């Protein structure tokens, strides 16, 4: 099960339910502010807080907008950059596109880092045009990314 924290006020309001909910999850997605509230750690220490507070097998993505994502998986935390675009037209839907593409990649068996890179491609496609839609389906973006990962020797 994946949990998307969705909103800082939601995290604060549901604080009592979070331990039980997170006990069922294998994937946790939130922005740095949401994870900071959830874990009681400053945004600069999110990676450390994730590794010490959450189950070791959990994949955790701390999204940071145009700065990419801080990804914790397999006991390692690494930064996965956002894909730069020539011109940001509209950020509406970028986070939802990132989340959908990331979960699609994981469900399709991609390594978390490759799924995050694919998600960055999807979010970049969305912000480069007006309106919350990608120019192609997420599955097509995923096929391209899986091909790149295979050429690099990863799934």
What does the pLDDT look like over 92-106, one tens digit per residue? 888 888 999 999 999
Is the model's pLDDT at 125 over the cut of 90? no
Cα separation of 70 and 113, whole Å?
10
Residue boundaries of the structural domains of the chain: 1-81, 82-155
pLDDT band at 21 (very low <50, low <70, confident <90, very high): confident
* pLDDT tens-digit map of 60-93: 999 998 899 999 998 899 999 998 889 999 988 8
pLDDT band at 119 (very low <50, low <70, confident <90, very high): very high
Cα separation of 11 and 18, whole Å?
8
Cα separation of 89 and 86, whole Å?
10
- What pLDDT score was predicted for residue 112? 96
Query: Is 148 exposed, middle or buried (CB count within 10 Å of its CB: 0-12, 13-18, 19+)?
Result: middle
Strand 2-4 to 27-31 pairing: parallel
Q: Evaluate whether 31 touches 63 at the Cβ level (below 8 Å).
A: yes
Looking at per-residue confidence, does 25 or 131 come out higher? 25
pTM of the model: 0.85
Q: Which residues pair with 2 in a beta bridge?
A: 27
* pLDDT tens-digit map of 30-40: 998 999 999 99
Is the model's pLDDT at 147 over the cut of 70? no
Is the model's pLDDT at 155 over the cut of 60? no
Is the model's pLDDT at 113 over the cut of 90? yes
- Nearest residue to 124 via CA among 105, 106, 141, 147: 141
pLDDT band at 152 (very low <50, low <70, confident <90, very high): low
| Mean of per-residue pLDDT scores for the chain | 86
């Amino acid at each position: 099960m994946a949990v998307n924290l969705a909103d800082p006020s939601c995290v604060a309001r549901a604080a009592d339910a979070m331990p039980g909910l997170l006990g069922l999850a294998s994937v946790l997605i939130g922005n740095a502010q949401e994870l900071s509230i959830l874990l009681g750690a400053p945004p600069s220490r999110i990676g450390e807080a994730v590794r010490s507070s959450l189950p070791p097998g959990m994949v955790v993505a701390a999204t940071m907008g145009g700065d990419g994502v801080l990804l914790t998986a397999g006991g390692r935390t690494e930064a996965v950059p956002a894909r730069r675009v020539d011109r940001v037209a509209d950020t509406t839907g970028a986070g939802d596109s990132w989340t959908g593409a990331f979960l699609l990649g994981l469900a399709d068996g991609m390594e978390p880092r490759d799924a995050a890179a694919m998600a960055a491609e999807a979010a970049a496609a969305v912000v480069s045009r007006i309106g919350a839609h990608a120019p192609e389906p997420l599955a097509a973006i995923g096929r391209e990314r899986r091909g790149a990962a295979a050429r690099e020797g990863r799934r």
